[in-house]
Structure 1
Amino acid sequence: MDSDRPVPVREMRASDADRERVAELLHDAVTDGRLTMEEHSERIEAVYRARTLGELTAFTRDLLPAEQQPFKVDAQNLLALFGSQRRDGRWVVPARLPVAALFGTVELDLRQAILQRRHITLDVSALCGRLRLIVPDGVEVRVTGRTVLSSARQGRRQDLPEEGPVVEVTGTLLFGSVKVVRPKRPWRASLRRGRRS
């Protein structure tokens, strides 16, 4: 097996927490009558046997609209054209993700995301558009793309682990911006509460 080839998004291994998330949704579905007890029992057994995220998506596909599914395992490009696109929750970030923001905003929340590889590349095309990245602690963001009359704000400086995940922003930004949002440090939050009291 080629170790340099990323595992296909749908074939990534599911965690126990992923299976429990689907089981909770199935419990809700049998409670409100969308599933019979027999259907619920069959699906629950299959959920706990499931090994991949792709397998888990099959159990809720007919119960919830696309935007409410517990996992997003499609590798579709993101396009914001005179509007906004947001990807958040439990989703798989492919090794290379094309992003286009034309007079619009793309927001990617990586706090619950699964990275297909340790090094992720966002190939951005932005014309008067914005990319907003919300990243958890320990994730390094590198903006290496070509910027013309554009801005890149990295948020507060961090002590990052040498072998930690990297999100690289490549491509071209013309009259655009990249903003990185990082979680607030706990001591800062408590300091603000202290000032109010």
Structure 2
Amino acid sequence: MEPPPPEMRIGDRERREVDARLQEALADGMLTLAEYDERAALCWAARTRSELNALTLDLPEPPPSEPTVALETAAPDAPATPDSGLVGRAIGGLVTAAVIGGGIFVGIQVLSADDGASVFGSRTVNVGSDQQRVEVGMMFGSLRVIVPDDVSVRPSGTVIFGSTNCNEACRTGPYLREVAVEADGAFGSVSIMRQSEFDRAAVIDRDRDRNRHDDSDDDSDDDD
């Protein structure tokens, strides 16, 4: 009996699509912050379609996209230029070189981050009450930056093939001091949160874990 053929590998386009679905589920309250961090790390480490599909099996399908009408911008009978293949290969080579160069640059920034870095895992960095600038890094994982409640964050840095989330912490207001957070990384997520926002998410996670534990105890009692 012949072994089954190897599963086709996936690329960054598929990883970005799944990460976008996970972010929407987090915003809609379907996933807790801890669940999103765990799944996002697995998403950017996935190599096959089955590994990605397992991350969204319990999430509803996204609504169908609106159909778009393509507009003709060139004459239908316009002949192809003789050197179009050469130009395409040249452009592809430049893009590949740019991506490799960007990855090397980001990797150096991550390893040289002064206030903490997360590589192949998750980490939480707490910002002190007197800090005015924070440098953090992330590679193939997730990183949470927790700032005081009286802070308005001014984010900067480069995250390639990933995301930086800063909702409440980036809002400005009176009596809020500004803190610059430079987050560099690739293949993962950076979440910047105020302390109260982080505490609320922790309470929600704890309550959900308690409810799941109670439900499992009820099921075991019914079996008895």
TM-score (norm 2): 0.32
More helix by share: 2
Greater relative contact order, per chain length (Cα 8 Å cut-off, separation 6+) = 2
More strand by share: 1
Higher alpha-carbon Rg: 2
TM-score (norm 1): 0.36
